[in-house]
Structure 1
Amino acid sequence: MNSIFNSPFEVSLRVLLILENSNGLLYSSDMLAAIDFMAVYGQDFGISDNNMHGNNLFKYSEFATRRELTKEATRNLVLKDLISVDCGQNGFTYTITTIGIQYCSSLKSDYANCYREMVTKVLNYIEDMSEKKVLNLINEHSIRSLRKGGN
């Protein structure tokens, strides 16, 4: 039996929830992965009182994998017409479609609602940051964590 955890399907659901709350902004797959990572590990960034996926010594090593999963997830979501892709001077960026918004309305679990709240907090936190700055912030936290022995 295949696990849905840490799969493109799981990441797809979170990408939809991010884009649902993005107010029509276009995000690259790397930025979507960064927003997702910060939402799940909000405590590390001072955004939340706890991490949605708990504390784990290897969380920053997850980020590279999450970026790849997000690329696969966005590809799948575009094929299902749940998000649309724009190819501009900044590369491929994504926004949610009407079908994607309708699909999100069916996601009503406690986890989905908590995740939506965390996404809102992350989007407010990074509002004036460039993608490069957000990715550098995650990298800085990763280095700091390594120096502290994974904490």
Structure 2
Amino acid sequence: MPNNTELIGFNSSFEVGLRALVILGIASSKNLDLQRLIYYDYLVIHSSDIGEIHSPQSIHPDTPHRSGGIIVRRKAMQEGLELMYSKSLINIVYDENGISYSASELTIPFLNLLESSYSKRLYDNAEWVLNYFSKFSDEELRAFIEKNINKWGGEFMYEAYVRGGIE
């Protein structure tokens, strides 16, 4: 379980888990695996990086090395999903495709309690991202990320390779 400092920090496991909850709520009955959730999480908060003329404005600022968040977000996403699961806000699905996640019966009622302008923007961006990328296969989504990651402040990617941070 994350400590209290991690719960309130920027991109903490709580914040990442909450964004995953929004994504799963919009995905409705679809199961999403960890990697797709990580990609969607990045694209939701940095939606301007998608480069489409009608993509919504990014929620978070375009900071240098922001694409490194795709690499380092895995642990926070896993912890965030565990937290949301511990509160029965999501389901974990084990099937022939591996482990994936889906909305639970409590997801939407919980999300309906969120009223901040941030949560509204988050919901709108997530809805747009899921609509845009829903027809992408896992391979197509990965290829899109790999093709564009260097444009998104990807210098960190090479530093992670040198330091051995990528498995």
TM-score above 0.5? yes
Aligned to 1:6: 11
Aligned to 2:127: 120
Aligned to 1:132: 139
Does structure 1 conserve the Cα–Cα contact (< 8 Å) formed by 2:28 and 2:102?
A: no
Aligned to 2:161: none
Structure 1 residues 136, 71: closer, same or farther in 2, change over 3 A? farther
CA positional deviation for 1:142: 1.1
Q: Tell which deviates more after alignment, 113-122 or 94-103.
A: 94-103
Aligned to 2:107: 100
CA positional deviation for 1:132: 2.5
* % identical equivalent positions: 24
Q: 1:42 aligned to 2:60?
A: no
| Alignment partners' CA distance in 2, 1:18 and 1:96 | 9
TM-score when scaled to structure 1? 0.88
TM-score when scaled to structure 2? 0.81
Does structure 2 conserve the Cα–Cα contact (< 8 Å) formed by 1:12 and 1:77?
A: yes
CA positional deviation for 1:22: 0.7
Aligned to 1:109: 116
Aligned to 2:33: 28
Does structure 1 conserve the Cα–Cα contact (< 8 Å) formed by 2:88 and 2:104?
A: yes
In the TM superposition, 1:48-63 aligns within 5 A as: 48-63=55-70
CA positional deviation for 1:136: 2.4
Which runs of no fewer than 5 residues in structure 2 stay unpaired? 156-167
Name the Cα RMSD after superposition: 2.2
Does structure 2 conserve the Cα–Cα contact (< 8 Å) formed by 1:30 and 1:70?
A: no
| Alignment partners' CA distance in 1, 2:153 and 2:62 | 14
Letter aligned with residue 92 of structure 1: I
Which runs of no fewer than 5 residues in structure 1 stay unpaired? none
Letter aligned with residue 24 of structure 1: S
Does structure 1 conserve the Cα–Cα contact (< 8 Å) formed by 2:56 and 2:128?
A: no
